[in-house]
Chain A
Amino acid sequence: MSGSTTEKAGRSGLALRLSGALHRRLTLPPRPAGGVWFFVILAIAALVLAPVLALLWQASRGSVTLWSHLMGSVLPHALGQTLILMGGVGVLVALSGTLLAWAVTAWDFRGRRLLEWGLLLPLAVPTYIVAYAYLDLLHPIGPVQEFLRQMLGYTSPRQFRLPDLRSMPGAIVLLSLVLFPYVYLPVRAMFMTQAANLLEVSRTLGLSRRQAFWRVAVPSARPAIAVGVSLALMEVLNDIGASEFLGVRSLTISVYTTWVTRSDLPGAAQIALAMLLLVVALVSLERWARRNQRYSVNAQRARMIEPLLIRGPRAWGMFALAALPMVFGFLIPAGYLAAEAVQRFHTAGLSPQLLREAGNSFTISALATLAVLICGVIIACGARLFPSHALQIAQRISGLGYAMPGTVLAIGILTVSAGFDRSLDAAMQSWFGVSTGLLLIGSGMALGYAYLVRFLGIASGSTEAGLTRFPRSYDHAARSMGRSAAGTVFSLHLPLSRSAIAAGGLLVFVDCMKELSATLLLRPLNFETLATHLYGEAARGTYEEASIAALAIVAVGILPVILLARVGGQARRRAS
């Protein structure tokens, strides 16, 4: 769709301007980075960097004596557990996300349209909720085992019970069940828009469908797989609730223990920053490994893959297999929550408070998503328009917030926001004798800032991934025909990467809805969200009281999934 827009614009403008504008631009050296863009992007990067620097300052205030204790009795185990957990989840989500994306783009079968968006639904289920739901369902006194005992004729769980879910394999499977869409989503977008040309060529050269998948589709989707897997793994690093339930002692738990149990914030900041270094190293390694590869197709119009129609038992088998992650990652936990919520509704009714909390969650998440998307697009497009080292670094910095455990990052943001609030308050008092109180924290803006820092990487990353698919010659053409930088963004980048941006927006929104650490720490007085309500109940072990809130988080998370499915559907219809 977008290819044709540019072509038209190109044809009409070309004849008129070619002689003057193009000639002038081709003979001049590339323009230096646009001044305004440069400063705006640096400012955004500075906003993200500020809390990390605040943490660095916190860390530097501590002693290093902590490390001898950590090295001796904590790190070997915690590091090992973290690596196994990340490795397990990484492999599972990469495999399942990619195969599922391939299944719904390369084949056409009954139920495929349902799966296309149905496979996104697990995104709406936070990791701690899926862990809680399955623990209850599969507990020896839960419904599943009770049923099994009845079938087998046992009367007590002391006679027969299944192995405990609370284990490393259990954690890997449960986390993967809700995190695979992070891979499925970008990889499907990649397959849909890019792979067609390459695949057709590979098929004419005699590759089978299976060979084409492994030798063409997968390698060409590598940036998308890498982005998806790294997002999923950062969610794993950020998780505390599910690990706590499932008895996995990850590094994040060590950070948390150091801070909360030993009241050693500097120590916690030190471990968190060390983890950040590890993540940055991993991400850089992946980028370095594909440094010499280009992933854009040529300037011809991108086309959709022509899916192969299958019918009969094969189609049913395909549907059943591909539907499994949706069933286990969404239908079962959501169904369980719904059943609990109905029961709760009967005993306690629906409190008006809950509606207010839902409103709060939705409003703050929607506003924050908008801000995050605007900043993300500015960064990704700016870095593409004006390639320079400074902007590339700024782009990398924008992803930092997502690579740290949210609990610790929230403290960095608190330090920055409260520092600003206090200075402003003091200044206003001494100059004008008025107190501004806590401007950022009191108004909820600190919360928006936290979401920006935390999720900017998703928005800029997905926009970047969307743009990478298109060759730079598009940009050169637009610029040489006299489009300003902003004009290029609006007429070229945004239309071209629309579905990638929408996908990023979806992830950001759902993540904001689920976000807990920063929300808990930074919200103003009398401002509860669904997530904080749920946490309040969970903290005293009364989950069922919050089953309606949990269901609401999941339900609100579904809205953008549907929205995104529609955007994707439109793009597909227009393209075909």
Chain B
Amino acid sequence: MSRITSVKGLLLAGSLIALSAAGSFAQELNLYTSREPGLVEPLLQAFTADSGIKVNTVFLKDGLVERVVSEGASSPADLLMAVDAGNLVDLVERGLTQPVTSEVLNTAIPANLRDANNEWFALSMRARVVYAAKEIGLKEISYDDLADPKWKGRICIRSGQHPYNTGLIAAYLTHNGPEATKTWLEGVKANLARKAGGGDRDGAKDILGGICDLAVANSYYVGLMRSGKSGDEQKAWGDGIDVILPTFKDGGTHVNVSGAAVAKHAPNKENAVKLLEFLVSDEAQKLYGEANYEYPVKPGVALDPIVASFGELKVDSLPLADFVKNRKAASELVDNVGFDN
């Protein structure tokens, strides 16, 4: 019985391979992405319309690195797309990427937003901001203020172990050192209105629900809500809160990126580079704003009006690569102070 099944399976697999091989004569490229399909899809459609290159995708989330490592030299992956600078650096450190020499990319992306050896490139930015209840009329706040006892029982935040938060904490750590960071985290923890958890958008909902006055979250969630794309109810949520761009003491606003790297064994490297170059074109950079309310990496590209309404973004000067090194230490500090407990 099992022999029959396996023979059938082999035949089936064989025919599938034949099919996929037949398809590979056309121009195509294989994209492994840990960005959600809903965000990447509009960009890819524009790319295919523009270039005639078909993009095959698989959305992988947390297992991106493991999948590419395991597939080794047989991997069909051409381009690896990920959120969070740390994940991009991970790809390089695991030896899964290759350098790309492209004048287009080097001109479009500022040097602090790409790898020194051109192994990864940031494609969009998002700021870690503070949402505030309209009625408290807050105008400005620093990340340090979040630990101020006057906010006791008034702050909502997702798990301290989420990459968006470990990124922020790692940056704080790089600015202020471990002792001060621990004290700060303990302070923030003491101010929480509820256990750390849920998603960034829950922060906005909980403010409206009267559970907290402040929530730490990514900038684009507000855009998604305010645009009314997800219905009138959410538009009301988005309009019910203020967005404040906090800063580090003597620094700017914490920013993280989404980006991509060409896979080491990419069978269609040329096409992968074409997609990368397309993604930093004015058209695509504008789409990042329109589809997901992110900040463009390319200087001079107009912001989406909703994004622009948050105020002028003053990006913290700390290079991405610097705070990425402290991610693990940040994650351990989160455990040590029992931030999520």
What residues make up the interface of A, taking CB atoms closer than 8 Å to B? 40, 43-44, 69, 72-74, 77, 139-141, 156-159, 161, 164, 166, 244-247, 249, 253, 256-257, 259-263, 265, 343, 347, 371, 374-375, 378, 407, 410-411, 414-415, 417-419, 421-422, 425-426, 435-445, 520-521, 523-528, 532-533, 535-537, 539-542, 544-545
- Chain B's interface size range is 35 or more
Q: Say if the beta carbon of B140 comes within 8 Å of chain A.
A: no
A520 pairs with B61, CB closer than 8 A: yes
B63 touches A249 (CB 8 A): no
Closest chain B residue to A418, Cβ basis: B70
In the bound complex, CA of A72 to CA of B39 (Å): 40
The smallest beta-carbon distance between B54 and chain A, in angstroms, is 10
In the assembled complex, how far is the CB of residue A43 from the closest CB belonging to chain B, in whole angstroms? 7
For A374, list chain B residues within 8 Å (CB): 1-2, 5
Instruction: Report the bound CA distance from A69 to B333 in whole Å.
Output: 10
A247 pairs with B197, CB closer than 8 A: yes
Please tell me which one of the listed residues A246, A262, A422 contacts residue B331 in the complex, with CB atoms under 8 A apart: A262
Smallest beta-carbon distance B37→chain A, Å: 5
CB < 8 Å neighbour of A74 from B1, B38, B335 = B335
A245-B161 CB under 8 A given contacts A73-B336, A439-B17, A528-B37: no
If the complex has contacts A139-B205, A525-B30, are A520 and B60 also in contact, measured as CB distance less than 8 A?
yes
Q: Do B17 and A443 touch across chains, with their CB atoms under 8 A apart?
A: yes
Residues of B248-283 contacting chain A, CB below 8 A: none
Is the CB of B316 closer than 8 A to any CB of chain A?
Answer: no
Contact (Cβ within 8 A) A69 B332: yes
Partner of A537, one of B13, B38, B341: B38
Q: Mark B60-76, 1 if CB is under 8 A from A, else 0.
A: 11110111001111111
The CA of A439 and the CA of B17, in the complex, are separated in Å by: 8
A536 contacts which chain B residues (CB < 8 A)? Answer: 36-38, 59
Residues of B near A159 (CB, < 8 A) are 210
Contact of A422 among B56, B71, B202, B340 (CB under 8 A): B71
Least Cβ distance of A456 to chain B in Å? 13
Q: Is B199 an interface residue (CB 8 A)?
A: yes
A166, A407, A422: the one contacting B74 at CB < 8 Å is A422
Q: Which residues of A contact B12 (CB under 8 A)?
A: 443
Residue of A nearest to B337 (CB): A73
Nearest CB in chain B: distance from A12 CB, A: 29
Q: Are A526 and B17 in contact (CB under 8 A)?
A: no
A448 to chain B: closest residue by CB: B9
Question: Which of B62, B63, B74 sits near A421, CB closer than 8 Å?
Answer: B74
Question: Is A263 in contact with B328, judged by CB distance below 8 angstroms?
Answer: yes
Please tell me which one of the listed residues A260, A437, A532 contacts residue B62 in the complex, with CB atoms under 8 A apart.
Answer: A260
Apart from A438-B75, A540-B38, 13 more pairs, CB < 8 Å:
A140-B206, A140-B208, A158-B210, A253-B161, A257-B161, A262-B331, A374-B2, A374-B5, A375-B2, A440-B13, A444-B16, A523-B58, A545-B38
Question: How close is A430's CB to chain B, nearest CB, in angstroms?
Answer: 12
Q: Which residue among A246, A260, A535 has the maximum number of chain B CB atoms within 10 Å of its CB? A: A260
CB<8 Å pairs between A and B, sample of 19? A73-B338, A74-B335, A166-B194, A253-B161, A261-B163, A261-B327, A262-B332, A374-B1, A407-B62, A422-B74, A520-B63, A525-B30, A525-B57, A535-B61, A537-B38, A541-B202, A541-B221, A544-B231, A544-B234
Chain B nearest CB, measured from A399 CB (Å) = 19
B211 within 8 A of A: yes
